[in-house]
Each structure stands twice: as structure tokens, then as C-alpha cells.
Structure 1
Amino acid sequence: MHRIDTASRAVDLFGPGKHGFKNGDPLSGDPATALNADWFNGIQEELAAAIEGTGATLNAASSTQLLEAIRALAPPSFRNLLINAAFLVNQRVYVSGAATMASNQYTLDRWRVVTNGQSVAFSADEIVAPAGGVEQVVEGSNIETGSYVLDWLGTATATVNGVLVAKRGAVSLTSGSDATVRFIGGAVRCPQLERGTIATPFERRPFGAELALCQRYYEKSYDLAVAPGTPNAYAGASAAPTQNGALGAVVIGVRFQTRKRVTPVVATYSPETGTVAHMRDGTGTPSAISIGGSVGQTGFRAYNSGFALAANSEARMHWVADAEL
């Protein structure tokens, strides 16, 4: 790109070497700045390169392509209020197409199937919503009062707070009030709910950032690919030494990686058997667990409340913390 350089330019208008334009004065014989194809072509190609750099095709009918390109090329701005919108985080290890066993059962992180017995199928970056819908509740603390736009790809229909919304459709949301976005009866890819009235290209955030957003609502000690309650799953288990294995003397403290939305519901599991509310020592001795009133938004403590454990060993347990809406 270059500044105007025709003979009638306004020399150094914006500083040394920074020429500009002038209207001229016909009475004094001072000509207006002449334009040339070289300058116009430079401007055109600079703007086109930014738009085409996002993978978009120039569209003469659109007046927002440059704005969309700037937003798309900028670092992640978290403008998409939908979390796990690429459907890649699956801490519960939900199996595609598996029938749910309760209404509003969570499947992929932050997405719940509305109707008991229905399911959601998923593959790379896409889900197929059931007839009763799959939905996400957007936390009110992330919403400012104003206009928002919802966009997605695929054949599903959508509602926001129960009101039907078209693709690239506008909705009004209120600060502090949760918003429920539901997709019904069809394929969904790249869903995005963002502030404003213009739908921009889908914001794909790094997986680690997306996982951290999900962990505000649900977190587990297991490896990502291991379902809670899996037996003989030792990797990642929380542990504490048992110098004194007496009843109530073994305490395992847990600090969450992400502060929870509210005080979560915590479930614990034996790493060896997957038994709920149990820990095991190094010799395989089990004990029931009590967590009492120790659970907070940042962690909890658990102690052996069922049996004494072997001294000079190690107690281990897995856990899940659920603070979903």
C-alpha cells in the first residue's frame, strides 16, 4: 500500500513524506489532487486481501465483509457466548447416539438433551439435534443488555428463550438473565451467539481455552478420554499419604483447576473399582468417603469415614465436580 503520489498531491500533509489529498482552489490556480489507477488498485487489493484471507469470497451485495474479516483475523475475543460450540470437549465421555436417562441430561460439555430417552449424534464439529432439542444455557453474568445475533450452519431450527430465531436472526437479551439457546431436529455446525446485529465468521478458540471455559461448570480428575466411574483408572487420581490410617485420619485435599460457577455437587470414586463415594489405599483396602461441608468453589476435602486404611501407604480417589446450570 502507498500514499497518493500524483503531482498535485498535498505534500507532507500528515508529516514528512506523508502526503494527502486537497480540494484545490480554481481561483488561485491550485489544482485538486489528481487520482490514478495505481493508487486505487493498491487500496482495492489491500482490502480484498484482508477479506479473502479469511477464506471468504468478495460479495458486491455485502457492506460488512471488511468488518467480518477484521473480527475473524483478530486473536480470540470470546465474542461467541456459546461454549464448546465446536463440540470437541466431552468430559463425560458421552457416546454419540446414546439415549439419555433423564430430562435435561448433559452430554457433550455444556450441551444437554431436553427430552428423556432422546439422544444427540455427533461427529467432527457437528451434532444432530433430536426432535425435542439440544440446548445450552448461557450464564447471565456473561450477558449485557442489548441486541445479539444467532447464527449456525445446518438444517436444525433454533429458539432463544423459547422464541423461534432464523439464521443470523436478532434477539434481545437482558444483563444478568440466563439465556437458553436450543437447536431442534437437524444438523448443527458452528453455532454462534454474539453481541451486535451482524453475524461474523465462527470463532474457533484453542482447545485448552475451551476446556477451561467448560470446567467452570464441570470438572473431573480422570483423563479426558476416561469416563467417571471407570475401574482400574489410576491416572490423575487425587492422593494422600496414610502415615496414620485410622478412621477419619486420612484426608485428601483437592484444588480445582477452575473456580466453579457455584459450589458444585461433588462425587468421588474408587480408582480401582469405580465404586461411588470410596477411596482405596495402596493395599486395595476400601473405605467410604465423607466430604461433609468442605466443598467450595475452589476445591474440597475428603476423609475415610468407613474403615481404617493401611498405615504408611497411600489413599487414592477420583472425583467429579458439577456446577452446571
Structure 2
Amino acid sequence: MDYPKNTPGAGLANGRFVDEDPIAGTPGSLIPASWGNAVTQEILNVISGAGLVPSENQTDQLSLAIKELAKLDPQQRFPVQVYRKNLIINGNFDIWQRGAVNLAPNIGAYIADRFRCDWNGNAGVNISRQNFVPGQGEVPNEPRFFFRWQQVTAGAGGSIHRISQAIESVRTLAGKTATLTFWAKADTTRQVNVTLGQFPGTGGGGGETVTPVGSFQLKTSWTRFSATVQLPSLAGKVLGSGGNDCLRLSFDLPLNVLQVIDLAQVQLEEGPVSTLFELRSPGDELMLCQRYYEKTYSQEVSPGTFIGAYGSLISTVRLGQASFSAQPLAQWTFKVEKRGVPSISLFAPTSKGTPGQWRSGSDEVSSASARALGASTRGVWVDNFDTALVTQTYYIHATADAEL
């Protein structure tokens, strides 16, 4: 847009409008209808583009429109290293390396990656991965899965029924404002209490500082919940030296009742504003999870499943080897360096032989002394502890757990 410089008779002086000067006898500038309409339409386009309805009696709409249009679009595609805002790993519940269900109603710990489940009071709980129906319109972004806590035994005298995630480093969000957003529903109206705990680590001083985030009334339909909280600083805290200090997000569920609680799209971000859920690719999310847990099995295969040699560690004892050299020995280099030195679990590839031991390719020979050797954050050796075996190719599966 510009002044009507090329409009005959507009009466501009030095390219601008001027008033009439009666003393000098010079006329004032004229505003052509075409120019006045164009200016008005340009302003209206800005107002409408910001989602506002033009009003003849409101004089601040252009200012409001500019402020609205200047806001950061939460869907703007930044490079991932700039835009990675969700501090929760696997908040979309895409990754379930340990399996899509817990082993039994009395066994909790980690099921969905990075999310720990704990309960007591002899409660019985089935944790499971549930599927969203494609095209459902309740939870946005077309998520594939959601997390389900189904309590099948109420229990008695319980003090903890909790879903939590430990975020590495207690320095995370310390002294800052944070916003939690999640989707949830239940079998009936139920209250869930959410907290953030700043744990200084084993050997640290002052204990865990727990900050309430809010109490949320879950309904029988999917509902988006959001709350903003100010976290304390670490002033006066003494951190432990074990490397397990963390910021712990906890969902505390009702105690000693039969219930079904569903969770989806959990996001914790810095700042006072709840933005749209950050979608990361399943591949990126898997790598984030593998900093804490990795396995030789394919992603969809639960550890301990008898699938044979597929993906396993392999070692061959050749003809002529004897004594120490006649042991299976394999190096497992992790795909992602671990948070700390992981604990290693070993699994036989077939149901024959000794559980957790090397098994031969002919499935006829099993070892008896398989062990993890020299584990580090980068990898581990698996050998056979000085037990000589006959000439065969041997296989074994493993998991590496470095959870907080």
C-alpha cells in the first residue's frame, strides 16, 4: 500500500497529504474513493486474518490482530533440536519394549517405556496398551495407543497406586514455571492427584521435595487437563553422587477400589502456557527410550519370548578349540549409550535347556554359566564363565536396564 501518487488531482505535496491553506490560497489534498477503499480493505484483511470479526465501533482491532498474528504457532515446524519441548519421553505411548501388558496382576514396575507402575495393599492391576480406533475424534493427532490401568483386585490398606516417570536430572525445571498437559478418562468419575518431586539422588541431602500440580476429576469420556506450577529452586540442596537424581512426575490414583484409568498424550514443558502436543516420530522416541532400556529382541517381541536366534547375540565354538577358548563369547554394542551402567538380563532363545543360557543352533546343547562381563554405558560382553562347550554355534538374548 502507498499514497495515491499516480492519481491525478489527489493534491499531494512531497508525496504526502496536506491540508487546505486559506491564506496561501492552496487547496487541500483529495482522498480518492479507490484509495480509501483499498486502505480500509487492507486493514480488514489483517483483522479477518487474525480470526476477528470486524466491528465498526471498535477502534483497537488492528492492534489486537497484529498481536494475535505475531504469536508463535505451536505447529510451526522447527528443527527438532530447537523444538523438542516435551520433557516426558514416550508421552504418546508409542513404545512398549517390555511388552504390551504386565506379566501378572501383582507385578508392576516398567511396562510402557519410561512409565513406572507401583501399587500395594495386595491390589491386582492389569497394565495394558490399548488401541485408538483410526479416525476417532476425541483425542487429537491420531495417536495409535493409550495406557490403561485396570484394577481387578481392589486390595486393602494400600498407600500407593501410582503411575510415574522419572526425568533425568533434578536440575530439570528447577526454579522455573512448568505446564503439564494430558488426556485421561475413567470408568466413572475419579480423582487423580498429580505431583512433581525433586529427588536429589541417593546420598543427597534434604530428601525429595514434592510440589502438587493439581487434583483432576476424570470423566467417562476423554478430557484434556492442564495445570501450571512453579517449581522450587535447588538452593540448599546437596545432590547425591549416584547419578540417579531426577524430577519425578507422579499420577496418584484412588486407593483400594476397582477402577479403570486411561492416559494419553502426556506433556510437561517449560513455561506458563500449554501448547499443542509435540509429535515426535516413533523412531526418535525409541532412541530416547533406549537410553534407559534396550533389548536384542525386535521392538514388538517381549523379552523372554522363545523366538529362536532372531536378533540374538551369536558365538561360534569351532573345531579344535578347548578349555577357555571353547566358550561362547559375544560383544553387545548398544544402539544408544545408556544413562548409567545397566543391569543385564539373559534369556535363552528356545524353551529347551536351561533358562537364561546360551543355546546351540541345533537346539541340542545348552550352557550352564552364561554371564554378563564388563558392562559399561556403551556395551557388554556375554561369555560362559570358563565352561567349555562342544563345537556349535550358540545364541542368547539379552536386555540392558538403566532406568532411574
How does the TM-score come out when normalised to structure 2? 0.63
Match of 2:10 in 1: none
Match of 1:70 in 2: 73
Structure 1 residues 64 and 183, CA, compared in 2 at 3 Å: closer, same or farther? Answer: farther
Which residue identity is paired with 2:86?
N
Indicate which of 196, 208, 213 corresponds to 1:165.
213
Separation (CA, whole Å) in 1 of partners of 2:116 and 2:67: 34
Match of 2:278 in 1: 203
Separation (CA, whole Å) in 2 of partners of 1:92 and 1:202: 25
Of structures 1 and 2, the larger Rg is shown by: 2
8 Å Cα contact 1:120/1:127 also seen in 2: yes
SS at match of 1:38: helix
| 1:92 to 2:98 alignment | yes
8 Å Cα contact 2:348/2:396 also seen in 1: yes
Which residue identity is paired with 2:164?
E
| 1:237 to 2:243 alignment | no
Separation (CA, whole Å) in 1 of partners of 2:66 and 2:146: 29
Match of 2:379 in 1: 299
Which residue identity is paired with 1:7?
P
The number of aligned residues is: 294
Match of 1:322 in 2: 401
Match of 2:342 in 1: 264
Shift of 1:123: 1.7
SS at match of 1:70: coil
Structure 1 residues 252 and 39, CA, compared in 2 at 3 Å: closer, same or farther? Answer: same
Match of 1:54 in 2: none
Structure 1 residues 242 and 193, CA, compared in 2 at 3 Å: closer, same or farther? Answer: same
Measured on the aligned residues, the alpha-carbon RMSD in Å equals: 3.6
Separation (CA, whole Å) in 1 of partners of 2:345 and 2:230: 38
Which residue identity is paired with 2:112?
L
Structure 1 residues 115 and 39, CA, compared in 2 at 3 Å: closer, same or farther? Answer: same
Gaps of 5+ in 2: 6-14, 22-27, 52-63, 132-144, 152-159, 186-191, 198-209, 215-225, 240-244, 254-260
Match of 1:151 in 2: 181
Which residue identity is paired with 2:309?
Y
8 Å Cα contact 1:281/1:309 also seen in 2: no
8 Å Cα contact 2:161/2:252 also seen in 1: yes
Separation (CA, whole Å) in 2 of partners of 1:154 and 1:307: 53
| 1:181 to 2:201 alignment | no
Which residue identity is paired with 2:146?
E
| More deviation, 72-81/83-92 | 72-81
Q: Deviations over 1:18-39 (max 9, x none)?
A: xxxx998879989999772332
8 Å Cα contact 1:229/1:269 also seen in 2: yes
8 Å Cα contact 2:293/2:399 also seen in 1: yes
Gaps of 5+ in 1: 9-21, 49-60
Separation (CA, whole Å) in 1 of partners of 2:382 and 2:119: 35
Shift of 1:279: 1.1
Match of 1:19 in 2: none
Structure 1 residues 178 and 65, CA, compared in 2 at 3 Å: closer, same or farther? Answer: farther
Match of 2:4 in 1: 7
8 Å Cα contact 1:221/1:319 also seen in 2: yes
Separation (CA, whole Å) in 2 of partners of 1:221 and 1:268: 10
Q: Deviations over 1:152-199 (max 9, x none)?
A: 122444222243323232231657851111123343222110011111
8 Å Cα contact 1:168/1:198 also seen in 2: no
Indicate which of 117, 127, 134 corresponds to 1:120.
127
SS at match of 2:125: coil
How does the TM-score come out when normalised to structure 1? 0.76
Separation (CA, whole Å) in 2 of partners of 1:154 and 1:63: 35
Over the matched positions of the two proteins, sequence identity in percent amounts to: 24
Structure 1 residues 141 and 246, CA, compared in 2 at 3 Å: closer, same or farther? Answer: farther
Q: Deviations over 1:78-136 (max 9, x none)?
A: 2000010011200000417952425xx11110011121443434423322456712111
